[in-house]
Chains A and B, each alone.
Chain A
Amino acid sequence: MTNAIDPVIVAKDLRKKYGDIAAVNGISFEVRRGEVFGMLGPNGAGKTTTVEILEGMRDADSGEAIINGINVKDDPTAVKAMIGVQLQQNAFFDNLNLSEIVDLYAKLYLAKVDPVEVLSRVGLDNRKNAKYAELSGGQKQRLSVAVALVNDPVVLFLDEPTTGLDPQARRQLWELVRKIQAGGSTIVLTTHYMEEAEELCDRIAVVENGEIIALDTPDALIDQLLSTGFKPEKRVREATLDDVFLNLTGRDLRD
């Protein structure tokens, strides 16, 4: 992380249409260095399209996306070289083992890393000789995070990283995200799990119909709602059903 430019991500009035449908309809926000920034919203709200524009995977129709001072449209290759990407649907080569996959991706960034060390950061060093197809869902997600870390990225994009994972695996991924944040990385995360956003994100943007309809810290958003006189339907309990499940089945991963 050489030249520290803050805010590290600037999105200015991004717009993208697919046919007649405006997937992204004037989205603007900034992400500060070192924060975990969450994008929440129902499926089809425009989260993934927004993230893909920032990643240089898709061109916006208009608006500006700037990562660490570089305009994504002007130099997508330079942006791709300094970000880490976990796509919603990840797939890696069959017939290569995990350390070979990490090694290959490191070489694509001309980065010198020890594949086993990278795998140990996501707790997969004991599976370094396994093939991708042999991994569990949680392990696959952690591998795709490991691959996203090979170039020591300025910004790490995680697109729905815990979708489809069981509670144990989800919690382990949360710990991983916190660890990566503690290492000084900036993280942009999309999710539709509210407890995940509350747990991990410093600030969240709520996206609906291609627009940001709210943007603040989770606490401030909850306070704003309560100040309107909102009362939750059920009495707030000290524990959740998630806690019950984890208490019954244990926190150990079922890999």
Chain B
Amino acid sequence: MKIYLALTVASLKMYFRNKQALFWALFFPLLIMIIFGMMNFEKYASPNVGIYDAANNDASKALILALGGTSDEELLSVTTGTLDELHHELEFGSSRAVIEIPSNYVIPGEFAEIKVTYDERFQQERAVVSTILGQLTDAAFKEAAQVPDEYRVENSIGVSETFITGQGQGFQAWLVPGVAAMAIMQTGLFTVVFTLVRFKSQGVLRRLKATPIGAAHFLAGQLTTKAIVVVVQTYVLVIVGAIVLGVSVGGGRIGLWFDLTILALLGGALFIAIGLAVSGWAKNEETAAPIANIITMPMLFLSGVFFPLSVMPDWLTRWSQYLPLTYLADGMRAITVEGASIITLGDELIGLGVWIVISFIVATRLFKWE
């Protein structure tokens, strides 16, 4: 225990004296977050709406298709899903309305009520959605009922509106947890890879092998240091995001900091394990750097760190949702800006857990002391 403590203290000293490591772990993500956060990426685009189709018949499919507009002119940006998912996206995400098509949609002689829920903060989008929906349902009814214009019955399709006050905070709120997740990845992977590969190639690890403690203790001290850094870094990024970018975090929950700590440690464990695997494999710093980059670069773009995955093509997101950083960024987002607590995270925890196990197995296979 005393030995472990001595090694941890020594490795903390080494870490905080290493200006370069500090720059990449703290200042670089902070800079990215602030610079991107100050830019306004939210220009007008067709409103995002979620559609729940209970009817699932030809008429409802035609309606959904029509709501999306043509390939030349997009009317609404449509996503489908379960009611829960859609309402969650409306409350916390970038969705502006949820349209619920009833099961009796356009059955002649029956009154079909389409329920629409809006975020009251976005009246302009509400007007757009409401107008488009009004025109299309009218046309759809006429076609389904084969009624000539002069006999049309207005009331057999109705639209009812409800309003909620969403918590979605726009781009900044997307960015802050994303960058926090990215920073965990960078620290876990790069600092582990670079210190270990350097110590390995210089023979520091070999010298430790000549002492009675062996290098495993040394590794434990190193990993503790990285765990501390990862947590501190996450706190700093979230706090700066709240103060400088005005993102409201955690809905005032006190448990937020505890949850953040747990999630940062899980993410740290995952990327440290990947770092160990890479440092086991790489012979020197020259080979380690490209390997680490090949692992991190795609995830920066495919894991929804800076932009939602929904802006990317479906065939890509079908795969990228399983990336380690996607789970971490999603979890980070749920806890910091969507008011979730860590015990309510399901997929994210399972995903991280599976990746942690895989990475540690690979790391123990690949890691060598010399």
Chain A interface residues (CB < 8 Å from chain B): 55-57, 77-78, 80-81, 85, 87, 89-96, 100, 104-105, 107-110
Residues of chain B contacted by A55 (CB below 8 angstroms): 210
Residues of chain B contacted by A93 (CB below 8 angstroms): 10, 14, 199, 204
Contact A91 B210 (CB under 8 A): no
Pull 24 A–B residue pairs with CB atoms less than 8 Å apart, ordered by A: A57-B206, A57-B209, A57-B210, A77-B212, A77-B214, A80-B210, A80-B211, A85-B207, A87-B206, A87-B207, A87-B210, A91-B202, A91-B207, A93-B14, A95-B13, A96-B10, A96-B14, A100-B13, A105-B211, A107-B2, A107-B6, A108-B7, A108-B213, A108-B217
Distance in Å: Cβ of B186 to nearest Cβ of chain A: 20
Contact A108 B3 (CB under 8 A): yes
Residues of chain B contacted by A110 (CB below 8 angstroms): 2-3
Contact B17 A109 (CB under 8 A): no
Q: Decide if B134 is an interface residue (CB 8 Å cutoff).
A: no
* B-side interface size class: 20 to 34
Q: Decide if B290 is an interface residue (CB 8 Å cutoff).
A: no
Interface string of B208-243 (1 = CB under 8 A from A): 111111100100000000000000000000000000
| Besides A92-B204, A96-B14, A107-B2, 20 other A-B contacts (C-beta < 8 A) | A56-B210, A77-B212, A78-B212, A81-B212, A85-B207, A87-B203, A89-B206, A91-B199, A93-B199, A93-B204, A94-B18, A95-B13, A95-B18, A104-B7, A107-B3, A108-B6, A108-B208, A108-B212, A109-B211, A109-B212
Q: For A85, A104, A105, which residue has the most chain B Cβ atoms within 10 angstroms? A: A104
Distance in Å: Cβ of B202 to nearest Cβ of chain A: 4
Contact A90 B203 (CB under 8 A): yes
Contact A100 B203 (CB under 8 A): no
In chain B, positions 166-205 with a C-beta closer than 8 Å to chain A are: 199, 202-204
Distance in Å: Cβ of A48 to nearest Cβ of chain B: 12
Distance in Å: Cβ of B211 to nearest Cβ of chain A: 5
Residues of chain B contacted by A105 (CB below 8 angstroms): 211
Contact B14 A94 (CB under 8 A): yes
